[in-house]
A and B are shown apart, each in its own frame.
Chain A
């Protein structure tokens, strides 16, 4: 299964936008791009996913590069509650099973 690469950590100020990058250069045509976030002592929580087009929901926006080899999760106004580890993974839209998680990006939000 294809792998993703993310920066280990990022910092943001409260109320400012945050752009979290993810590289997935070996993505295949059937792979969806998924983002999850994990708070301490919790399981990962779904944030957003997309295939080719940019996506928006109440939590975030997902910008997908035209060649699909990278994507960016955008938090429009970071709050202290957005401090978490963010994971970008690929979920194949086939009968394949698991997805591989990297170590994610730890986002720190400063007041």
Chain B
């Protein structure tokens, strides 16, 4: 397994356009998370899935944001009508479900850097 893969690595888009990012998690991990990070800040939680079920969404996730994980494997994050404030690094992570002695630690991808001009 090559870890968590995110594509594209960089995306420049014009304000008002829609963008979609993809995340391929570690195959044995049931959980998949999306975080957003701006310069100088820690990652901010957006949403997470257990298998194909979206279990929690942050209030940061406006109705312009939607995430899917249709078959419980890869996930997509779509931003509609992008705004300059959406410029950030979008991070995907996966983890096993924390059970017993497993702490459910994250494995992060390298992120997709979005620039809205």
Which of B42, B91, B97, B102 makes the CB contact (< 8 A) with A102? B42
- How distant is the Cα of A91 from the Cα of B106 in the complex, in angstroms? 9
Let me know if A43 is at the binding interface, CB within 8 A.
Answer: yes
Category for how many chain A residues contact B: 20 to 34
- Chain A residue numbers with a CB within 8 Å of B55 are 97
The answer on a CB contact under 8 Å between A98 and B45 is: yes
A44 touching B43 in the complex, CB below 8 Å, given contacts A34-B105, A97-B55: yes
Q: Does A57 contact B (CB under 8 A)?
A: no
Task: Say yes or no: is B33 at the interface (Cβ < 8 Å to chain A).
Answer: yes
Assign chain B's interface to a size class: 20 to 34
Report whether A97 and B48 are in contact in the complex, using a CB–CB cutoff of 8 Å: yes
Bound together, the chains give a CA A14 to CA B32 distance in angstroms of: 37
A103 within 8 A of B: yes
B25 at the interface (CB under 8 A from A): no
Tell me the total A-B contact number using a CB cutoff of 8 A: 73
Q: Which residues of A contact B100 (CB under 8 A)?
A: 93
Encoded as 1 (CB less than 8 Å from any A CB) or 0, chain B from 86 to 105 comes to 00000101000111101111
Residues of A contacting B102 with CB < 8 Å? 93
B contact residues around A92 at 8 Å (CB) = 98
Minimum distance in angstroms from B17 CB to a CB of chain A: 23
Q: How far is the CA of A91 from the CA of B101 in the complex (A)?
A: 12
B97 — which chain A residues lie within 8 A by C-beta? 95
Given contacts A42-B110, A44-B106, contact A97 B56 (CB under 8 A): yes
Contacts A97-B48, A100-B45, A103-B41: A49 and B108 contacting too (C-beta < 8 A)? Answer: no
The 5 closest A-B pairs by CB, nearest first: A43-B108, A101-B42, A32-B103, A98-B45, A101-B43
